[in-house]
Structure 1
Amino acid sequence: MDFSLSPELQALCQQVRAFVSRELLPLESQTGFMDAHENIDETVLDGLRAKAKAEGLWAFQMPIERGGRGLNHVGMAAVYEEAARSPFGPVVFNCAAPDDGNMQVLNKVLKTEALKQRWLQPIIDGKVRSAFAMTEPKGCGSDPSLTYTKAEKVGDQWRITGRKWFITGAEGAQTFILIARTSDDERKGLTAFLFDADSPGWRIERRIAIMGPEEHGGHCELVFDGLMIPDEQRLLEVGDGLKVTQIRLGPARLTHCMRWLGLSKRCLEIAGAYIRQRQSFGITLAEHEGVQWMLGEAAMDIHIGRLLTMNAAWMLDQGDFARKEVSMAKVQVADTLHKAADTAIQLLGAQGYSKDTLVEWVYRYARQARLVDGASEIHKMVLSRSYLADESEFFRWH
């Protein structure tokens, strides 16, 4: 692949970087801009989103005709990295999880303009939020086949019973994508549906408290005790639920990597500024060889993650599923995010452990990276199976 960016894409990256520097970074040294869950307060967010829209910095991943910027995956990789220089950038630009992945899958699988206007366009416009209801307490997680939530056909509707949990963004979401079991078939037993939050027959049981900062809407446990979903709100065909998850989760894992790389770079940016001016034993910290090793190793890991992410993005743009490439990026970048935050805290000392900088926020947030969208061990298993099946072809150039 060619790693050079077009002049237009470089200009967009610079525009996003300037917006983040001007509008978002100053907030981090202020009080009162976060909500109770350590995300950006909704009233502050509304004003920033209006500014981003006015500058054309909105829904980079969506088609131009739908109000986005029409970027491919390579373009998204470059821009998302800049957007996530602040952890609050992605939601300001409407490219944050879970809406980001939900918009992408709905844009691909909804067949008519009427359906896109009903279910997709409000998310693109930022009028509603969405959630992807797949994970279950005693079943589905990294393995979607362990789905026990049932969808039973009743006339021209489907009756949903079961339970989901750790559903990101569920509190306050209006549009839900639901994965439920419609048969015992091993490959075609799952089906995907859309439902609106106002529909009766379901509830949020609780918002699950977690160790790190949260996305808007938290991570919730949902109970379905008779939700009725019309058949016209089914995504693709009966039995295509696993297909919908594959369409969504591959690119979504990679967009996580894109954002995590931005946060990783920001950690080193904060630490780098500190060690250039902090004196120790007559010289700056940056002049100490041990400090140089720490910073250099973290920077190298970030660049490895960028190369893996860009390679996977390029392959997706060629029409490849890029399963092993996405898995490699996911494992590497998840580890890198934690390492970058940990290195920054060590270099910053007590200041890094305090809330005076963003680094401790990133450190707590980073621990989930090795779990979400497939634990690292699952991705390593995928890579092992791929290598054993392909052997030398595993390393082929594309």
Structure 2
Amino acid sequence: MDFRIPPHVEDFRARIAYFVDTEILPVEADRGLWDSHGNIGRPALATLRDRARAEGLWCLQLRRENGGQQLGRTGMAVCYEEMNRSIFGPVVFNAAAPDDGNMMVLEQAATEAQKDRWLRPIADGTVSSAFAMTEPAPGAGSDPGMMQTRAEKRGDKYVLRGRKWFITGAEDASHFIVMARTSDDPRRGLTAFLHHRDEPGWHIERRIPIMGPEEHGGHCEIVYDGLELPADRMLLGEGLGLKVTQMRLGPARLTHCMRWLGLAKRCTEIARDHAERREGFGIRLADRESTQIKMGDLAMGIEIGRLLVMKAAWALDQGDFARKEVSMAKIHVANLLHKAADIAIQINGARGYSTDTPLEWIYRYARQARLVDGADEVHQMVLNRLQSGDPQNFWRWPVAEG
């Protein structure tokens, strides 16, 4: 097995690392450049995005004809990890959720006309987007089959009614992908639609306060109360909404993991830097066996996470849905990030609990990692079901052609 990365991927990685160190980390360190929700302020973001474009570090995930760098999932794994050494890295390179996942599914599922209207403005960075699927109980959460939002066909249009919540980025988004029920068929009952923020028949009920820092546009509760959409707003076609969710959520879950590995590495950097400089009772923290055990365990956990992510990325590049691989990576890396932030805060003591470092930011952010895009328990049940249904193939290695 060849674990070497191609030279062009290493070139992107090195240039991203330099850009993060020289351009993004100084902005991160200046709290005056943040917004009120713990994210990078729009003026500073616009400046950094212009510089990232000029350096050719924009939209690594898309094909070149759609304004991207066409790195593939394995190349993205290397570079996304590097860019999220800063808490603000991904959004600078147009690689942050939810735009990242929305762009990838639009590239794969949209018609050329839909790409012109709905994908390219997101890829250009002129608008942001949201994916409206999750609903309050008794509606859809981890189980899309519980979808309550309905799209009723009336003539040549569809009328949407329902409620969504915790929709990331909705307050700032212009382009929306919304999931709605078009029939009661258990397999072909859901449909994905595209709509613009300026169209009547929907509104944001509230921006939901959360424990952690927020993406631009927050996490919102949305009401659809008669949004009318023509048939050309369907993505893939009527009844193919479950396929759209499969196409979107697997890769999006994995890109979360790619980014979280970068944050976990940043936690170890901050912890190690403090441990090497801080002394107590005549000995450096870095020389204490308890510190060394914690840091060694984190190093191993991060490397396991990288291998899980890279295997899943490789499987996606082969055209596989990689359900097993993505679920394993999602569980491991989400828990790893929380553990890395917790240990780094413990090593830093009161300094880690303060806002003098980004550790408290990462800690608050990390707790949602075990919930977003499927809770730990959901992915554990998926793995059990896959293994129970086909125990021999679950463990089978892919075989190369002879």
TM-score, reference length from structure 1: 0.99
The aligned counterpart of 2:64 is: 64
> Which stretch of the first structure deviates more once superposed, 386-395 or 263-272?
386-395
**Could you tell me which residue of structure 2 aligns to residue 25 of structure 1?**
25
How many residue pairs were aligned?
Answer: 397
Paired with 1:321 and 1:381, the residues of 2 have a C-alpha distance of 17
Distance in structure 1 (CA, Å) of the matches to 2:119 and 2:245: 17
Q: Give the deviation of 1:310 after TM superposition.
A: 0.3
* Residues 117-146 of structure 1: CA deviation (Å, up to 9, x unaligned): 111000000000000000001111100011
What's the secondary structure of 2:32's corresponding residue? coil
Identity of aligned residues (%): 62
Q: In structure 1, the residue corresponding to 2:369 is in which secondary structure?
A: helix
- Is 2:212 the counterpart of 1:219? no
Matched to 2:53, the amino acid is K
What CA distance in whole angstroms lies between the structure 1 residues aligned with 2:114 and 2:327? 32
Look up the SS of the partner of 1:198 in the other structure. Answer: coil
Residue in 2 that maps onto 1:35: 35
Three-state SS of the structure 2 residue aligned to 1:355 is coil
Q: In the aligned structure 2, how far is the partner of 1:397 from the partner of 1:22? A: 42
Give the Cα–Cα distance (whole angstroms) in 2 for the partners of residues 163 and 281 of structure 1.
Answer: 58
- AA of the residue aligned to 1:247: M
Q: CA RMSD in A?
A: 0.8
Q: Secondary structure at the match of 1:180?
A: strand
Alignment of 1:184-195 (within 5 A): 184-195=184-195
Say whether 1:395 aligns with 2:400.
no
Where do 1:137-148 residues align within 5 Å? Answer: 137-138=136-137, 139-148=139-148
Cα deviation, residue 301, structure 1: 0.7
In the TM superposition, 1:240-389 aligns within 5 A as 240-389=240-389
- Which secondary structure does the structure 2 equivalent of 1:209 belong to? coil
Residue 395 (structure 1) shift: 1.4
Report if the CA contact (8 A) 2:250-2:321 is conserved. yes
Q: State the match for 2:150 in structure 1.
A: 150
SS in 2 for 1:151: strand
Residue 98 (structure 2) pairs with residue 129 (structure 1): no
* Alpha-carbon distance between aligned partners in 2 of 1:155 and 1:217, rounded to the nearest angstrom: 34
CA distance in 2 between partners of 1:191 and 1:353 (Å): 45
The offset of 1:65, in angstroms, is 2.1
CA distance in 1 between counterparts of 2:105 and 2:181 reads 20
Equivalent in the alignment of 2:48 = 48
1:181 maps to what in 2?
Answer: 181
The aligned counterpart of 1:13 is 13
- For residue 48 of structure 1, report the CA deviation from its aligned partner: 0.6
Quote the offset at 1:115 in angstroms. 2.0
Taking the aligned partners of 2:24 and 2:319, their CA distance within structure 1 comes to 35
Deviation string, structure 1 residues 260-285 (Cα, Å, up to 9, x no partner): 00000000011111111111222211
* Rounded Cα–Cα distance in structure 1 between residues aligned with 2:279 and 2:290: 14
Q: Does 1:115 align with 2:114?
A: yes
Once the two structures are superposed, residues 18-51 of structure 1 have per-residue CA deviations (whole angstroms, 9 ceiling, x without a partner) of 0000011122322211111100001110011001
Q: Which amino acid aligns with 1:183?
A: S
**Structure 2 CA distance, aligned partners of 1:391 and 1:244?**
28
What's the CA shift for 1:321? 1.0
One-letter amino acid of the structure 2 residue matched with residue 335 of structure 1: N
Structure 1 residue 387 displacement after superposition: 1.1
Whichever residue aligns with residue 337 of structure 1, its letter is: L
Equivalent residue number for residue 201 of structure 1: 201
After the TM superposition, list the runs of 4 or more consecutive aligned residues in structure 1 that deviate by more than 3 angstroms: none
1:276-309 deviation per Cα after TM superposition (whole angstroms, max 9, x unaligned): 1111222211111111001111111111111000
CA offsets per residue over residues 184-212 of structure 1, 9 Å max, x none? 11111100100011100000000000000
Structure 1 residues 307-316 or 28-37, which shifts more?
28-37
Give the whole-Å Cα distance in 1 for the aligned partners of 2:288 and 2:392: 43
Letter in 1 for 2:123: I
CA distance in 1, matches of 2:29, 2:186: 52
What is the deviation of 1:67?
1.8
Alpha-carbon displacement from aligned partner over 1:336-370 (angstroms, at most 9, x marks no partner) = 00000001001111100111001110000000000
Task: Provide the C-alpha distance between the structure 2 equivalents of 1:9 and 1:243, rounded to a whole number of angstroms.
Answer: 30
Q: CA separation in 1, counterparts of 2:11 and 2:182? A: 48
Letter matched to residue 266 of structure 1: R
- What are structure 1's unaligned runs of at least 5 residues? none
Shift of 1:164: 0.4
Query: How do 1:163-182 residues align onto structure 2 when only pairs under 5 Å count?
Result: 163-182=163-182
Q: How far apart in 1 are the matches of 2:255 and 2:196?
A: 25
Distance in 1 between residues matched to 2:90 and 2:2, nearest whole Å: 26
User: How much does 1:392 deviate?
Assistant: 3.0
Aligned residue number for residue 88 of structure 2:
88
Letter in 2 for 1:376: D
